[in-house]
Amino acid sequence: ILLLRDRGLLRLDDPITKYLPWTKNLGLPENSSEILLRDLLTMGAGFPTDDPWGDRQEEMSYEDFENLVSKGISFAREAKTGFEYSNLGYALLGRVVSVASGVDYFDFIKKEIFNELQMNVTTFDEREPKKTDKVDGYANYDKGLTLQAITLPGSFSAMGGISSSINDLVSWVAHFQSAWKVKTKSVLKISSVREMQEPQRHISTVMLKDKNLKKSKTITTSYGFGLFIDDDSLLGRFVSHSGGYPGFGSHMRWHPQSGYGVIALGNLTYAPMNELATEVMNKIVVEVNALPATKELDIWKSTQKAVETVVGLLNKWDENIADKNFAMNVDMDKPRADRVKEFKKVNTKLGKFKVKDIKSDSPATAKAELKGSKGSIFVEVQMSPEKDNKIQKITFMNK
């Protein structure tokens, strides 16, 4: 969908009826807005969760699918009012891909994604891999492990019905991880690959204790475009998605800041690979010390220089230096005389300063520990957004 968006063949804010006229009688709840492609992408169309029903619909023909939808859908909520995972929504997006591109969905995905990423063994048709290259899927019934029949491609395959390998999935995950590199090749625009991994719809926020760090933390879970995002207050951002299917369970998960990722595959119906992958990924992040904090190298040179400027003004106030480096709002926010008094008070209390450490969560902001001859203090310096940026805010704090 984003590839077609980038090529100008569709807009995310187009209504689904523009591409699929047979969806006009879905039976929207009263007071609901129309369903946009963006709503389907972010699981916000209002459809009810359809696992495991959806997993059994993959082989449905396009004709049967259109007949099913044209009769109307049961809605759990109005569009855009909350997250609810829907395989049906992605099946509809698969049909949109075919209409907007003018190419059958399976041919489009193979040419534009699988081939481009050299995912050479990945296929929608489970009959294609050699028997010796395939792992069978099982379900655990009362009578024991039972072999599950393969399913063939159909209208619901767009929800994710592929057979793949670890090597191919590594290419897939690496494609997302590469979005933060300066120069890299990509199937999509690099900005679109990053956009997929940004929160688009909030799901939940929970507080719990980190098993590795033994500290309390919050995890805010959101949905991007086809991906889950977990913002962990201690460990940073994780991007992931699971695959649950008759005979199989899988999970892929990565940590953009460190560059590490985990792929876990199991051949049992809905095998809980997400639990294992999450535990492993968290441990890796802690052990390689990839905890969230922007490195000093990531801070703008102008931000770093601004910290030195503030230190210089603390040690010896200079009106010309202040005039040259302060943004126009600084003296409006605090009269110059008051700021001079503040700087001199800090200097008198703690002595002559030098920078001990700089940390930040943004290139435009620096939180620096300043070590004085009689003690230490922290200062946060924030830069203005102009091309020739200047200091827009200075805040002293004890920690």
Sign of CA dihedral 150, 152, 158, 164: positive
Phi/psi of residue 387, nearest 5 degrees: -60, -50
Q: Which residues contact 162 (CB under 8 A, 6 or more apart)?
A: 122, 123, 124
Q: How confident is the model over 230-271, as pLDDT tens digits?
A: 999 999 999 999 999 999 999 999 999 999 999 999 999 999
Cβ(350)–Cβ(376) under 8 Å?
A: yes
Per-residue pLDDT at 182:
67
What domains are there in the chain, each with its CATH number? 2-120 (3.40.710.10), 166-287 (3.40.710.10), 296-397 (3.10.450.280)
Per-residue pLDDT at 223:
99
**What does the block give as tokens for 49?**
């969760």
151, with CB counted inside 10 A (0-12, 13-18, 19+), is buried
Per-residue pLDDT at 293:
52
Phi/psi of residue 377, nearest 5 degrees: -150, 155
The span from the CA of 35 to the CA of 38, in Å, is 8
Angstrom CA distances, 16 to 24, 33, 94, 227, 360, stand at 9, 12, 12, 21, 42
Burial per residue of 330-354, b for 16 or more beta-carbon CB atoms within 10 angstroms, e otherwise: beeeeeeeebeeebeebbeebeebe
Per-residue pLDDT at 294:
46
Per-residue pLDDT at 132:
77
Question: Could you say which residues of the chain have pLDDT below 70?
Answer: 182-183, 292-297, 399
Q: How confident is the model over 138-162, as pLDDT tens digits?
A: 999 999 999 999 999 999 999 988 9
**What does the block give as tokens for 20?**
């699929």
Task: Tell me the three state secondary structure of residue 367.
Answer: strand
